[in-house]
Amino acid sequence: MALISSALTSAIVAFAVTAVPILFSRKSKRVKVKASNSGEKTIDYASFVFWVIYGGGALFSIIGVLVYWLSDEPIAGIVFLVLGLILLIPALLLQFVDTSVNWSSESISGAKSGVSLKKNRILWKDIISVKSHPNQTIELKDSAGKSVVWSVYYNGWYEIISDLRRLRPDIDTSNFE
């Protein structure tokens, strides 16, 4: 049973780490953003992300219960169950937090880092760089060191880059073709 649970875990992790980000980032690039009457635009995490996390957490939890009951290794079952809860609890908390990125023709506001729930607001004219990070996040940084970060898992994330190109053609955005 330990061999089966190890194989299942490896398959799940390999799929999640490689296939899901690649497939989903392409889809979310083409999704339209929400626009208000005042001209402010908004993007937020796609519900797909939460369903993948819920599915992964439930799968690990079910495997944990089955391994605990049906094998000679109850510790492995408890580990799977804990992994499932580790996936589920933060995703549930994020459902009730404002994770959106908002922007207008003057400024953009959003999370100040990839792990922070606090928001920064920076002016387009003060932006000095845009970076793509290996963890699928994109960061705008201004001259004062403040930043706004979002993920390719946001619906319509690419529209911010399009607006950045329009508002600030002097900033290099060649990494986002």
Domain with CATH 2.30.29 in the chain: 101-176
In this predicted structure, what is the pLDDT of residue 163?
92
In this predicted structure, what is the pLDDT of residue 1?
54
In this predicted structure, what is the pLDDT of residue 123?
95
Instruction: Provide the greatest CA pair distance for the chain.
Output: 63
In this predicted structure, what is the pLDDT of residue 98?
80
The per-residue b/e assignment along 40-54, b for 16 or more CB within 10 angstroms, e otherwise, is ebbbbbbeebeebbe
In this predicted structure, what is the pLDDT of residue 124?
95
In this predicted structure, what is the pLDDT of residue 174?
84
| Whole-number Å distance between alpha carbons of 80 and 69 | 12
Taking alpha carbons only, the member of 143, 141, 176 closest to residue 162 is: 176
Topology (CATH level 3) of domain 101-176: PH-domain like (2.30.29)
pLDDT mean values, one per 10 residues, the chain (177 residues): 61 60 60 84 79 82 86 82 84 79 93 80 94 87 92 86 92 82
- DSSP string covering 28-70, please? HHHSPPEE-TTS-EEE-B-HHHHHHHHHHHHHHHHHHHHHHHH
In this predicted structure, what is the pLDDT of residue 8?
63
